[in-house]
């Protein structure tokens, strides 16, 4: 089994290739939940949904979020009623939020709710929220702290930020399922997801770094030079007090990473890094990178 640490973009593109090569039952994905929020009375978990929809074969792979050919009837009428859902929630997507909202209200853990949804959607891979407790990423702006999703989706990242903070009532701890998945794997792969908002929240869960230090870990940098392959990583890395580059990313992972992969085009020189084509612009490129990583792990 291989365990992946994933956010909502980048790593899912790698998983698209991996799921063509492995039996899905041999894939576990530990997913960031620091962007989760209650929206319109129900529970939105953007990164879990992207990964779950990918394995269910219903992900809209043009946008890498939401369900393909979904409709937006409720969302559109809400706007006319003066309710601004800052994320376009599709009608089928909303059904998933409703189902999860009900399960959580009934006292289920997020891990159990995710497993139930995966079972119904025919997902055979193991999709694990990083934690069952609530932790949320906020960015600091001159106008105060705002939810990361609001910064990125509503304001499209076009806002000065000078800090990234995690808010929680109790410090988040990795679930038993997460630790077991890491320990029971042949290797752990950190995909090219945003190091600040997608991967660091997972690493900050109590128990994860320790488990990773005992495991073989391969990490893929999301940067080419100072530009991320996608998303708002540049401003976030700086606000996080890190250099926006593969070097800055490596700095976050160096205490546990065994193989660090950077793109062949990346001008930043990192001693010992493996150079591969990490720009997964299509299914073939995803497959190529997945093959290279599996070869690293299984050696053939």
Partner 1 sequence: MITFLSGGTGTPALIRGVRQILYDSEIAVVANTAEDLWISGGHCAPDIDTAVFLFAGILDTGRWWGIKGDTYATHNYLPRVAGGEPFPVGDRARAVQIARAGLLSRGMSLTEAVQAQCRSLNIGATVLPMTDGDAALYVDTGTEHIPLLEYRMTADPGTEVRELVGPEPPAVTDGVRAAIEASDAVVIGPANPAASILPILDCAGMRDLLRDAFVVAVSPFSAGVAPDQDAALMYAVGEPPTAPAVSRLYGDIVDVFVQDIHDPDDVPGSLRLETRLMHERQAESLAWDIMAVIRHAIS
121 in contact with partner 1 (CB under 8 A): yes
Minimum distance from CB of 66 to partner 1 (Å)?
13
Minimum distance from CB of 207 to partner 1 (Å)?
30
Q: How far is CA 96 from CA 100, 144, 284, in A?
A: 6, 31, 30
99 in contact with partner 1 (CB under 8 A): yes
Q: Which is nearer to partner 1, 39 or 259 (CB)?
A: 39
74 in contact with partner 1 (CB under 8 A): yes
Q: Which is nearer to partner 1, 82 or 142 (CB)?
A: 82
Helices (H), the chain: 11-21, 46-56, 73-80, 91-105, 110-120, 148-149, 176-183, 200-203, 208-213, 233-239, 246-253, 283-298
Stretch that binds partner 1, among 75-83, 130-138, 206-214, 228-236 (CB under 8 A): 75-83
Tokens 């529970």 belong to residue: 43
Distance CA 3, CA 21 (A): 14
Strands 223-224 and 227-228: antiparallel
Q: Which is nearer to partner 1, 98 or 153 (CB)?
A: 98
The two tokens of residue 176 are: 């038993």
Q: Exposure of 190 by Cβ count < 10 A (0-12 exposed, 13-18 middle, 19+ buried)?
A: buried
82 in contact with partner 1 (CB under 8 A): yes
57 in contact with partner 1 (CB under 8 A): no
Q: Which is nearer to partner 1, 67 or 239 (CB)?
A: 67
Asked whether 217 and 185 are in contact (CB, 8 A), the reply is: no
| Near partner 1 by CB under 8 A: residue from 25, 63, 120, 167 | 120
Minimum distance from CB of 91 to partner 1 (Å)?
3
Q: Which is nearer to partner 1, 114 or 286 (CB)?
A: 114
Minimum distance from CB of 178 to partner 1 (Å)?
23
Go through 140-176 and write b for each residue having 16 or more CB atoms within 10 A of its CB, e for each that does not.
Answer: bbeeebbbbbbbbbeeebebebeebebeeeeebbbbe
95 in contact with partner 1 (CB under 8 A): yes
Of 27, 39, 26, 30, the residue nearest 177 (C-alpha): 30
Stretch that binds partner 1, among 21-29, 93-101, 174-182, 200-208 (CB under 8 A): 93-101
- What is the size of the binding site for partner 1 (CB under 8 A)? 29
Q: Which is nearer to partner 1, 41 or 171 (CB)?
A: 41
Q: Which is nearer to partner 1, 19 or 94 (CB)?
A: 94
- Residues 6 or more apart from 161 whose CB is under 8 A from it? 139, 140, 141, 151, 235, 236, 239
| Near partner 1 by CB under 8 A: residue from 21, 25, 63, 77 | 77
| Near partner 1 by CB under 8 A: residue from 98, 146, 153, 270 | 98
Q: Exposure of 288 by Cβ count < 10 A (0-12 exposed, 13-18 middle, 19+ buried)?
A: middle
| Near partner 1 by CB under 8 A: residue from 96, 173, 174, 203 | 96
83 in contact with partner 1 (CB under 8 A): yes
Interface with partner 1 by CB under 8 A: which residues? 40-42, 70-71, 73-78, 80-83, 91-92, 94-96, 98-99, 101-103, 116-117, 120-121
């Amino acid at each position: 089994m291989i365990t992946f640490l994933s956010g909502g973009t980048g790593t899912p593109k790698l998983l698209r290739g991996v799921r063509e090569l492995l039996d899905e039952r041999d894939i576990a994905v530990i997913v960031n939940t620091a962007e989760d929020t209650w929206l319109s009375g129900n529970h939105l978990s953007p990164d879990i949904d992207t990964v779950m929809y990918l394995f269910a074969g219903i992900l809209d792979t043009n946008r890498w979020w939401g369900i393909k050919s979904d409709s937006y009837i409720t969302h559109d009428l809400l706007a006319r009623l003066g309710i601004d859902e800052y994320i376009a929630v599709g009608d089928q997507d909303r059904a998933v939020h409703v189902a999860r909202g009900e399960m959580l209200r009934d006292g289920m853990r997020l891990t159990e709710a995710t497993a139930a949804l995966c079972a119904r959607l025919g997902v055979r891979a193991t999709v694990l929220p990083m934690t069952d407790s609530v932790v949320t990423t906020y960015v600091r702006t001159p106008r105060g702290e705002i939810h990361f999703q609001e910064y990125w989706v509503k304001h499209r990242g076009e806002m000065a930020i000078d800090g990234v903070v995690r808010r929680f009532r109790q410090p988040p701890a990795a679930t038993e399922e997460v630790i077991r998945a890491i320990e029971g794997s042949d290797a752990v792969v950190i995909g090219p997801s945003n190091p600040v908002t997608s991967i660091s929240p997972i690493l900050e869960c109590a128990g994860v770094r320790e488990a990773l230090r005992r495991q073989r870990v391969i990490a893929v940098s999301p940067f080419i030079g100072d530009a991320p392959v996608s998303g708002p990583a540049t401003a976030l890395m700086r606000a996080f007090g890190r250099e926006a580059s593969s070097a800055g990313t490596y700095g976050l992972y160096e205490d546990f990473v065994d193989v660090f992969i950077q793109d062949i085009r990346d001008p930043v020189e990192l001693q010992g890094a493996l150079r591969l084509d990490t720009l997964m612009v299509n299914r073939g490129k995803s497959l190529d990178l997945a093959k290279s990583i599996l070869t690293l792990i299984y050696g053939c």
